[in-house]
Structure formats: structure tokens, C-alpha cells
Structure 1
């Protein structure tokens, strides 16, 4: 008896994973950088927390809106391409069949087999075949603006809440260092989990996130110290 062979693929995660990782990463980095810069300028805790909350709310709305607009543009392009392809299939079905067969020949099938495959796929779902093999549009990778926007905004909020919580709990004497270090730990964990979910090496995923995030926070800390003259 043949055992059922189940393969795990990750391409169906690309849309929401990209938006969620980008949102969470940006939430931690931008909010931590904002808080670090303000803390380094010797702002009191109430002011730091207020700025952090404002950054969280504004950033989440901005990320959600930006992601929705960006992915909507992609969805509009896909819809326009599909409309053109649908029209071509109605007006020139034989030409489109020949075009589809030519694609399969370029991928390695002989002409006779390519023609048979094209005919069968056209009979089953002509538009789907052209969308996938001519335009590169698949169900798994189709643009989904609302899902991307919600994932991005929610992930940003969760990410931003972490350095904000650190700012609330950190002692005044070491507030900047505490926020930076805790945020880098969160970012390293996020990078590792994102890499693991996407099938990439976890250490590499964590390192690239930590490096650039540390640079961003260091720059804002320097700016805060410079303009605020803090000794925190």
C-alpha cells in the first residue's frame, strides 16, 4: 500500500507573513527609536509613555493604510491583466491556445505534449491556466489588500507595545539601555521566528534584523543626547 506523501510548502504564507513581519518589525524599531530618542533627551516618564502611545496608534494606522494602498495597487494591476487576458480568450481563443502551448515548450515539453497539455488545461480553466503560466498570478500569491492591511496594523501594534512596556517598567537610571536591549531581544526573536516560518536559517534572520535595528536606535539616541543634553 502506498503511503500518502504530504509536502509542506510555504508560498501560501508569503502575503500575510510579509505584512505581519514588516509590521511587527517596524512597530518595535520605530517605537523603540522614538522612545529612546525622547528618553535620551531627558524627558520624564509620562512624556515618554505618551509619545510611545502616539507612535503606536499613528504608526499602526499608517502601516495599515500604506499596506492597503500598496497591495490594492497590485490587485488593480492583476485585475487589469486578467481582464485583458479574458478578452483575448474570447476574441482569439486559438491564438491563446498556441501561446499557452509555446510556454510549455519553452519549459521543456515537446511540441505534441505541450499542445495536449494546453488543450486540456484550456478546457478545464482557460483563464486560470493563462493567469498562472503566462502572467504568473496564482491563488496563493494573489494580492489581498484588506488581509495585508489588518495583518500589518495588528502586527505593528503588538510590536510597538513591547518597547512601550519596557519604557514603563525600566528604571529611570538605565531607561535608554533597558529599552534598547529589550527591544533588540524582541527583534532577534522576531527575526528568528520569521525566518523559521519562511524556511530560512534562524540565525541569519535574527542577525540581519538586530543589526539594522540597533543602528536605527543608536542614531536616534545620539540625536536625543545631542539636542537634549541628557545624562541618562
Structure 2
């Protein structure tokens, strides 16, 4: 959401600084929203798909080793359990019991040796859709006044809405970092404002040169 908010706010500010009309600003903002959302979604899909394929390859290798060297895999599993505080003899009994069932053995080795949950390897489609939607929500914020028909005051309203959203996103992120919500919001607001002001200034320079 933050990526969509900052990137599209900067895009809108840049073209507004160049002196184009409200309809051109809206068209540019919509193009930025769609281009960015599809790019984020596609990138997240490929990233998650590659990660899932890597995990599946590791699990397949573990399955092959389990089929070829069951005793060695049982000993590895026993040593893992021993490291967690289980007496070695008891750990070996547990490992042998698991190895007797190939499906349970593979599940245990995947979790204990690879550190993976075979049921939660990630969904490429889910990640892509989530990324697309959250980026779009953030990118919509600076377009709201133009979608509602505001013209001359549109850029001011867009800046205010984007500032409020930036502060809100920064405050929300602070909940995960344990930082002060006001400081987190203010930091995000300052960073976003500097980026937006810079693109507006550059846009105004380019617009003046073109004119």
C-alpha cells in the first residue's frame, strides 16, 4: 500500500508541477496505478512461485534421501530431537517410529531439518492478488479529488489526502516495530512529502522548459 501511495502521489505531483490539466493528471494517475499494480502483482507472483519451486525441490531431495538412506535420515532426526533435550535413546526410538511411515517421516524431516511447513509453502496467485489490490488502494488516494471532479483545488486536496494516508500507514507500521505511533507516522509523512515535493519541482522545471 505504501508503494502505491508514494509512487502514484509522486507521479501525480510531477505531472501537476508540469502544468497539465486535471484530465491529464487523472489519466496519468490511472496509468500509474494500473502499471504499478500489474508490475507489483507480476513480480510478487514470480517471486513467490520461484520460492515455492525451490522449497518443493528441497523437499523432493529430502524424499530421495529418505528412500535411499533411511537409517542415516533416522539418525539425523534423532540428533535433532536430542539437541532439543530428548534423551538420545528415546530420540532414536521416536525417529525409527517416524521413519517406518514414509509420509510422516518426510513431514517430520521437512519441518525439523529444512525448517519448512509443507502445508504452507506460499500461494503465488494469492500473493499476486494481494499485492495488486494493496498497491491499488494506496495508488487511488491521490486520484480521489480528480475522480470527484475537483479541478483547480484537486492537487491541494490530493496532497492533503496523501499526507493523511502516509501518516496513517507510518503509524500502523509502528505497531509491528514497537516504535511510537506518532514518530512512525511523522517519519513516513516527511519521507513521502520530500519525494512528492521533489517530483513536483522537477515537473515544474520540465514543464517550463517544454513550454
Report TM bin, short chain.
Answer: 0.7 to 0.9
Alignment pair present for 1:104 and 2:86: no
Contact 1:33 1:216 in 2 (8 A): yes
Question: Which residue does 2:35 correspond to in 1?
Answer: 58
Q: Deviations over 1:11-50 (max 9, x none)?
A: xxxxxxxxxxxxx111111111100111111111011000
- What 5-or-longer segments of structure 1 have no aligned partner? 1-23
* C-alpha distance in structure 2 between counterparts of 1:110 and 1:210, whole Å: 55
- Normalised to the residue count of structure 2, the TM-score between the two structures is 0.83
Q: How many residues align?
A: 206
- Normalised to the residue count of structure 1, the TM-score between the two structures is 0.76
Superposition pairs for residues 77-92 of structure 1, below 5 Å?
A: 77-92=54-69
* C-alpha distance in structure 1 between counterparts of 2:184 and 2:118, whole Å: 27
Cα RMSD for the two superposed structures: 2.8
Question: Which residue does 2:9 correspond to in 1?
Answer: 32
Q: 1:138 aligns with which of 117, 123, 127?
A: 117
The structure with more radius of gyration: 2
Q: Aligned pair in 2 of structure 1 residues 214, 111: CA closer, same or farther (>3 Å)?
A: farther
Q: 1:186 aligns with which of 165, 168, 172?
A: 165
- What 5-or-longer segments of structure 2 have no aligned partner? none
Q: Deviations over 1:81-133 (max 9, x none)?
A: 01101111111111111112222333444423433443455447111111112
* C-alpha distance in structure 1 between counterparts of 2:77 and 2:14, whole Å: 57
